[in-house]
Chains A and B, each alone.
Chain A
């Protein structure tokens, strides 16, 4: 498709399990962003990639969160030893170039529930 694709759409995990969330950006988009959206809140920035380089990971809440984009296209957000406070919708967005004049295109998100 033409949009940003995220999988799975829903993920339920037990506390302590590791999870991996996938993002397929729009083809050719240089920039890729991950956001976390808690219930009733706006998206909060987690990390940013320009091609395969992770240029900003200042929003990752702990060292249990790890993101990669090894070939500059698909990205994976991994959460280790999940906690209940990790329950949220995880959004991926991509934009065509690296400058701020490019709007970000969002995927449908992955809704993560930690039991």
Chain B
């Protein structure tokens, strides 16, 4: 079955630490890839997306993600996190010929000041 895995459920970092959140999907066809963020008390917001072209994509607030097709991965990175990055992060995949996004279970990030 098609699925999206986020292996880190909870991550705690200090400010200025580097961040990498893993995302893997199981599907052999064409995909569009997304990272969404949900800040406390807010709705899901798009952080960045990959459709085609350069596999390294840059999003808002200094986030970036790299699509590695051979590894079926789309990991999220940020060189130096801030307290305001405390949120839940969801990886989502749109698989070709499907209308729906398939989400991972999310990673809760806590950044200590």
Contact = CB atoms under 8 A, between A and B. Distances in A.
B99 A109 contact: no
Contact of B100 (A40, A48, A109): A48
Interface residues of B, number: 25
A58 to B, nearest CB: 8
Contacts of B90: 42-43
B43 A107 contact: yes
Most buried by A among B46, B100, B102: B100
Given A100-B32, A100-B94, A101-B32, A45 B101 contact: yes
User: How many residues of A sit at the interface, in one of the four size bands?
Assistant: 20 to 34
B43 A55 contact: no
B103 interface: yes
Contacts of B45: 106
A101 B51 contact: yes
B105 A55 contact: no
Given A42-B90, A101-B32, A109-B43, A56 B99 contact: yes
Interface of B: 4, 6, 32, 34, 36, 42-46, 49, 51, 90, 92, 94, 96, 98-106
